[in-house]
Structure 1
Amino acid sequence: MRPGRVFGLCIGAGVLAGALMLAINAIVVQGWLDQLADLYIDEFLLAGDLAEEEFDQMLAAARLQNLALPMVYGVLGGALVAGAYLRIGKDAFKVALVVAGAAWFSLYVMPAVKYAPNPDVLFNPEGDGGYFVLFASYSALSGLAALGSAVAFAKTKRKNWYFGAAGVYLGIIGVMYFLFPAFPEPEFVPKQLLSGWQGGIAAGMTALWFTLGIGAGVLLEREEKKGAGRGI
């Protein structure tokens, strides 16, 4: 299968997955975000600790993230699946689903366990405290650990190499969890509100990665069968 075709199919699946995440953000996450904004207005704006114009800019930026990031994630995720499939060259559905699932786990789940989404970094001008640097660093190292473990154990060509790769990855991420500093959640935000917002984000990210994996897998597998029928 031609590389251009592979990338086109996978990125198309990524755009569809991004659209699903965008819908979840618009329907679910945005409602929780607005409630958080109201809470921060009472906590900071009315107390005079934050200018109204500055707060409006923060809220607009948070809403823009909800709309723009899903498509960015979808396109990049599609490119990741395409690259993995081109390297392996067979078992399209299995490859797409495994790569998407591994990416979801290593690039979202594990980083979110350590650094859960935090409204302070959105609405409190003094609340970042290096959160984005910590989250990005943790995510990058987690992804590299997953990739390195998979590549190293795949070269052994053992039947169940993925169990060894998973064990090494979990060992690395466990060490990282204790080495990286903690980031506190805002104490004045009700747990129900915080959990609802974080849960909405989790639902969107999960829907994105598995829709991408299934969609890309189905499309690539169909192309594989067409190629086999033509003797390619």
Structure 2
Amino acid sequence: MVGKLLVRGMLAGVAAGLLTFSFAKLVGEPQVDQAISFEAKADAAKGEPPEPEIVSRHTQAGLGLLTGVVSFSAAVGGLFALTFAYTFGRVSKLPARPLSAWLALAAFITLVIVPNIKYPANPPSVGDPETIGMRTGLFFLMIAISIATMVFSLKVRKHAIAHLGQWNASIVAGLVFVVIIGAVQLALPVINEVPAAFPAVLLWKFRVAAIGMQVILWTTIGLLFGALAERAQRAASTDRMIGKSAYL
């Protein structure tokens, strides 16, 4: 059954990747082009020669973007399916569709919202190349802390249900998550390398597009995989019933 869920998760990821690519192509790429133009003009004003183009911009915005987004989405869909397979019936008694939706929402908050509050996405020409290693490390550290805090908060909820009930236990777990994440984000270093002359509207549109891509990705995976998983479970139940009737 896990293998069937894995395949369905990857299929949901591919579908999510195609939708995400379409959004990125229509909404995100124009912002990237404007940011690249800003960088080129800034370099020209300093008298610096343009950087050599190893991969053409046409390829980056077309086949390269499609390949990267779909491959990433398929991998995410597979990991999501494995998480669902572990959670279903063990951690949660929810049916397939609502469980898939809730898992996608939790993943979106943990992997996207929390790290992007502290270290939001930046377009080309924003950021010092010499600090890219540090910035990448801090971003993934924020993701790791967010995942660990989410798991800890769910354990707090599980233990609090017996004393407080499901609703109050959920509120307590949410508060624990917010307090820990807030403290961590205050403790981690601030990175602000946006040039003073960089257009604020362009930066805002780029970041909205980046979040929009993630919204489409996780919404599609959560809803589509839930439907596919439900169908797989119905088919498995039918096969078991047929198998039992064969011995009667």
Task: State how 1:211-222 maps to structure 2 within 5 Å.
Answer: 211-222=220-231
The answer to which of 114-123 and 90-99 deviates more is 114-123
Does residue 1:118 correspond to 2:122, yes or no? Answer: yes
Task: Specify the alignment match of 1:199 in structure 2.
Answer: 208
1:173 aligns with 2:190: no
1:23 is the counterpart of 2:22: yes
- Deviation sequence 1:109-163 (CA, Å, 0-9, x none): 1111111112357675446372212111112211222133224533666534443
Change (3 A) 1:206 1:68: same
SS at match of 1:128: helix
Once structures 1 and 2 are overlaid, which stretch shifts more, 141-150 or 61-70?
A: 61-70
Partner of 2:50: 52
TM-score by length of 1: 0.85
Q: Distance in 1 between matches of 2:223 and 2:5?
A: 15
Which structure is larger by alpha-carbon Rg, 1 or 2?
2
Counterparts of 2:31 and 2:20 in 1: how far apart (Å)? 15
SS at match of 1:36: helix
What count of residue pairs does the alignment treat as equivalent? 229
For 1:157 and 1:69, how far apart are their aligned partners in 2? Answer: 42
**SS of aligned partner of 1:118:** coil
Q: Considering only aligned residues, what root-mean-square deviation do their CA atoms show, in Å? A: 2.7
Please identify, of 209-218 and 72-81, the stretch whose mean Cα deviation from structure 2 is larger.
72-81
The structural deviation recorded for 1:75 is 2.5
Aligned position for 2:153: 149
For the residue of structure 1 that corresponds to 2:190, the secondary structure is coil
Residue type of the partner of 2:231?
R
Distance 1:210 1:26, change over 3 A: same
> Structure 1: which 4+ aligned runs deviate by more than 6 Å?
none
Q: Which residue of 1 aligns with 2:7?
A: 8
Corresponding residue number in structure 2 for 1:101: 105
Query: Structure 1 121/42 Cα, relative in aligned 2: closer, same or farther at 3 Å?
Result: closer
Match 1:228 to one of 219, 234, 237: 237
Question: 3-state SS of the aligned residue for 1:181?
Answer: coil
What corresponds to 1:41 in structure 2?
Answer: 40
Deviation of residue 178 (structure 1)? 0.1
State the one-letter code of the partner of 1:219.
L
CA separation in 1, counterparts of 2:185 and 2:56?
31
**Which sections of structure 1, spanning at least 5 residues, go unmatched?**
none
Under a length normalisation based on structure 2, what TM-score does the superposition of the two structures give? Answer: 0.80
CA offset at residue 191 of structure 1? 0.8
Tell me if structure 1 keeps the 8 A contact 2:123–2:206.
no
CA drift of 1:175 comes to 0.8
Shift in CA distance, 65/144, structure 1 to aligned 2, threshold 3 Å: farther
Query: d(CA) in 2 for partners of 1:71 and 1:138?
Result: 25
Residues 8 and 225, structure 2, Cα contact 8 Å, conserved in 1: yes
Q: How does 1:60-79 map to 2 (within 5 A)?
A: 63=61, 66-79=65-78
Structure 1 contact 40–123 (Cα < 8 Å) conserved: no
Mean Cα deviation higher: 66-75 or 93-102: 66-75
